[in-house]
Amino acid sequence: MARRNELGSIASGLIGSFNSRNNDVDGYWGIGKLHKFVENASKKEVSIELLSGSIKPETNEFDSLIKFYRNRLEAHLKARSIPRSWIVAVEFTALFETEYEKKHHYWRSGLGKPYKLKCDILDDNGRHHIAYAYNNSRPHDPKRETRSCREVGF
């Protein structure tokens, strides 16, 4: 029997995948592309609401990424027999160029500046199931990066 507390595990799995180097947007690391997207903004934050397919600040550049993670969410729900009606909202938040946190960011573990990711699944009982991920990134630069040639199943 499905239980709502499994939504925390789903949030953790989604944010782990989102943080992964295998998270591609047009063959490049999705996090780097998101970082580039907000590079000149005063608040270096991107918010994606999976169910509605909306992103703030607005753009169509990440439509394939949103579709991929919406499908991944649906697959997780189906695998656990969790009714879709239990989910009110699923939001990814990426905050770039954050302060270094010794507890979460490993010193010199990666190039770039620290960032923080959050996946928040709100259920129909008003409970938030939240998972975080931390790493370092630089804004996307195709001159310094090699584009992936693997097939992506969007």
85-138 tens-digit pLDDT? 999 999 999 999 877 666 555 655 567 788 999 999 999 999 999 999 988 887
* Backbone torsions φ then ψ of 142, nearest 5 degrees: -60, -20
The whole-model pTM stands at: 0.85
- Beta-carbon contacts of 3 under 8 Å, excluding residues fewer than 6 positions away, are none
CA angle 19, 27, 99 (to 5 degrees): 35
Segment of 27-41, 76-90, 126-140 carrying the highest mean pLDDT: 76-90
List beta partners, residue 90: 121
DSSP string of 70-117?
HHHHHHHHHHTT--GGGEEEEEEEEEESPPP-TTTSPTTSSSSEEEEE
Tell which phi-psi region holds residue 120, choosing left (phi > 0), alpha (psi between -120 and 50) or beta.
Answer: beta
* Average pLDDT of the chain, as a whole number: 86
Q: How many residues does the chain have?
A: 154
C-alpha closest to that of 20 among 97, 117, 113: 117
Helix, coil or strand: residue 127: coil
- Beta-carbon contacts of 100 under 8 Å, excluding residues fewer than 6 positions away, are 107, 114
User: In this model, does residue 37 exceed pLDDT 50?
Assistant: yes
